[in-house]
Chain A
Amino acid sequence: MSPEMNSVPNTIFSPELAARFDKLVTLYPARRSALIPMLLYAQDEVGAVNDAVIAEIAQRIGITELDVRNVISYYSLLHTKPHGKFHVQVCTNISCMLRGGNEMLAHCKEKLGIGNKETTPDGIFSLEEVECIGACCWAPAVQVNYDFHDNLTTEKMDAVFENYRQKAGKS
């Protein structure tokens, strides 16, 4: 691959991320192997893998936008619409379900006033029902962005919400 294929002139990403991507595509025997890490990094920076992200990543790797969309739609961790500042992921898989995961989800819905895969009007919280997040030993568990909250009760969950609401107020 010619080196000029790596970089994109009018990148939508920060210079650091763009530099990281320039390197990333050279690390694998096949360029498209870099696709999933690129999507995850881009999602963290931009907030979602929107059309602009898809277009640029397709261009960087040299695949079609359709290829990128095919992969995004396969993985539930990748989303094309922005989430709230704090994305609350409630596990309702077996262990959590047995320990009250469904009730936890219902509580979150009521508390936040939104349904599954929705975002609060102030953009602070979004809610999603997810499959196993690997915290079965401490069920029921909820993941907020990259942080875990486990052994939850509805009271503990309220405290979690309050904590994040304050964080949101500060920043």
Chain B
Amino acid sequence: MADVNLTVDGKKVTVPAGTLLIEACRAAGIEVPAFCYYPGLSLCGACRMCMVRIEKMPKLQTACTTPVAEGMTVHTETPEIAQARKATVELLLGNHPLDCPVCDAGGECELQDMTFKYGAPTSQYVEIKQHREEQQWSPVVYFDRPRCIMCYRCVRVCGEGMDVWALGVQNRGAGSVIAPNRQDHLDCEECGMCIDICPVGALTSDTYRYKTRPWEMNHVATVCTHCGDGCKTTLGVRRADDGMEIVRGDNRDKSGINEDFLCIKGRYAFDFANHPDRLTKPLIRQADRSFATATWEQALELAAKKLKEVRDTKGPDAIGVIGSNRTTNEENYLLQKFARTVLGTNNIDHHRTADYVSFVRALAGKADRAASLRDAGTAPAILLLGNDPTEQHPALAWALRTNVRLNKAKLFLVNTSDIKLRRQAKAFLHIPEGGYADAVRFLGSNDADFHGIEGAADFRDALRAEPKLLILFGSEFRGHDIDALVSFGLSLPDARFACLADYANSRGAADMGLLPDLLPGYRPVAAPGPFAEEYPNLPQKPGKDLIEMFDAAERGELGALYVVGANPVERYNVDPASLKNTFVIVQEMFLTETAQIADVVLPAANLYEKGGSVTNSYGDLQLVKKAGDRAGVRSDLELIVRIADRMGAKPQQLVPFGRGLRADTGQSRGAQSGEADRHSIWLASRQIEPKVSPFDPYAVLDEIARLVPGYDVERMNLLAGNDVRTKLVSIEPAASTTRRDLVLPAQDALFTSGTLGRYSAKLAEVHESHRKSPAETAAD
């Protein structure tokens, strides 16, 4: 659009035509205060705080509803404007309780800030303030009516943003009040967006209300540990007797890939970390089958001794390793490196929730066709096959809704059920159960008819006319279905793809090679390439997958099983008796079904209690930062290194720390050529310092960046807290295309989150309250 020139407070500003004056001012670094205006939501003009003087206009104008015009001259801070804002604040404070010292928002309240800046020390009002008791609207949301300043932000974010429309405004004038959709309570997605967006303390959360003061916390922006979207959540932590306690989760800095959004899990489901059942001491199985607490020394020694014993007596093939979807890339990488080089086995797997292997193979050589989550917010057209993002990928659903609302993006859906995003969809192809393969075949074909569904051909033709289509698909697609879908997409001019998985680091686990047949970066174990040099003793034969490990255990052939942050016994319904002859080592936060049958349980830190990086479903790499801390637990990274150390492995060969492996920058010629310390050279060439601790995740990240194709990302950008694209590069199409389909979708919905969800009191409470309500309706 054409640019418009205007003058704001004497500054020349040039912005595209159609820009709102308030945004133009902000772009020029001039803040115009506003309560009701919120970028991306509909305009409201209710609060009258953004009043500015525009020359040649008779009265003060609201900057939030005025589009810029050529030659406009604007003043944003004059005595007249200050007086107007002062009067507005005075009116707002007319019935606003001055309970700031106990209000949750005190210290980070927009009304407080405005009162500080413009407010009068006195008030003309002598009327008694109307008090109303606080109301609980849901397990999450509390409403304190007198604090409300009627900015309508909550109403709009719930309706327009979330497409839930659970909040409304009732009555009129001074009696206006925000009302929930079920008269005295809310029936909603419990996302907490209304609480976050509230400029004052009128909407508060059950999790945080009256807990602490904002300035008593440290705020750590890290990545949510729940679903595969990788939202940034800001955790407020406070000193507790046994470490740092997480007391709040919110979206304070809004710098993440999720932008304004955060769902209930990112906001309130951090509480598993504070669960009373949290393990804080190592446990060792006694002769009478009971657990006894042990010292770290005893537990690590025993674990290492047993692993070594099994390796040396029964052979490496008698050991199985199961990794996690919720540990960092560094831990996943290290775990597979430990398995492959120290234990000497390829028997390593994880709970797969999407078929990334097929996805990478299908997209081989076309790294630019892999989409980021950010593309969902900008693509002009999106095709979503399977999945229900509202339940499984809330940030994706938000991005799609926002894209449709603000950019008029076209959303095409193919699904077996009538998912909620249908309300935003331009076209919906409702296919019969199990019809995804058929649907893809139909999209690629010229058939006139598809199961007799009306408009199916139009749907296909509309898709084919899209020059820039974003194709998202759920775990319904595996193996050859992915191939078919990708080849359909590649027939379009510029289609991009994303494969949706269920957990915070599902993608990272696959990328880092927690797979029996593939090394990090999906390199086949039989053709290890650079790993042949890097990994001494790398076995060339693909190992056992997760199911085969348990089969081997049943046959009594599995001497030891090392499980890191996973619960396969529950997930795969393993008979505990089948593991009676297997020495089981489990690194876990809780005594899960798997931990209960373990011989050694090592209490582990969770994703909120350590540093490292995670990769979301779309391949966006982000750093996680240590927020909480619990006395007694250790990170999985540290535990792997310590076990390896006690097995006699050289930690330096596992984690490249200190002055390199050979303390030698090598010779390029002569007898010593090839002896170069590749890692040191790689670091030096990128001006990265060597790391000094074997427990430093960044040391492992260095090796990942060096060895895993696509992970050599811009380090500064990553360190700055941004999401960075990894490139999906397949070294060569894997020879075997007849891999076993081991994808087991997590089946998590909005209020569940695998094993973690069971230990989150808030999620459980919300889940329970939502499970109950349909029954209540049915009864009457």
Contact = CB atoms under 8 A, between A and B. Distances in A.
A65 B181 contact: yes
Interface string B169-208: 1111000000111010000000000000000000000000
B165 A67 contact: yes
B170 A64 contact: no
28 contacts: A64-B165, A64-B168, A64-B181, A65-B181, A66-B165, A66-B166, A66-B167, A66-B168, A66-B179, A66-B180, A66-B181, A67-B165, A67-B168, A69-B168, A69-B170, A69-B179, A69-B183, A70-B168, A70-B169, A70-B170, A70-B179, A73-B170, A73-B171, A73-B172, A73-B179, A74-B170, A74-B171, A74-B172
A145 B750 CA distance: 50
Nearest to A72: B170
Contacts of B171: 73-74
A72 to B, nearest CB: 8
A116 to B, nearest CB: 16
Contacts of A64: 165, 168, 181
Interface residues on A, range: under 10
Contacts of A69: 168, 170, 179, 183
For the complex of A and B, the 4 pairs showing the least CB-CB separation, nearest first, are: A73-B170, A66-B181, A70-B168, A66-B168
A67 B167 CA distance: 9
A8 B181 CA distance: 22
Interface of B: 165-172, 179-181, 183
Contacts of B169: 70
A65 B182 CA distance: 9
Contacts of B181: 64-66
Contacts of B170: 69-70, 73-74
Contacts of A74: 170-172
B188 to A, nearest CB: 11
A74 B169 CA distance: 9
Residue among A64, A65, A67, A73 with max Cβ neighbours from chain B (10 Å): A73
B532 to A, nearest CB: 63
Interface string A53-73: 000000000001111011001
B165 to A, nearest CB: 5
A74 B173 CA distance: 9
A67 B170 CA distance: 9
Contacts of A73: 170-172, 179
A64 B168 CA distance: 10
A65 B183 CA distance: 10
Nearest to B165: A64
Interface in A37-58: none
Contacts of B179: 66, 69-70, 73
B180 to A, nearest CB: 8
Given A66-B168, A69-B179, A73-B179, 8 more contacts: A64-B168, A65-B181, A66-B165, A66-B179, A66-B180, A67-B168, A70-B169, A74-B170
A64 B167 CA distance: 10
Residue among A66, A70, A73, A74 with max Cβ neighbours from chain B (10 Å): A66
A67 B181 CA distance: 9
Contacts of B172: 73-74
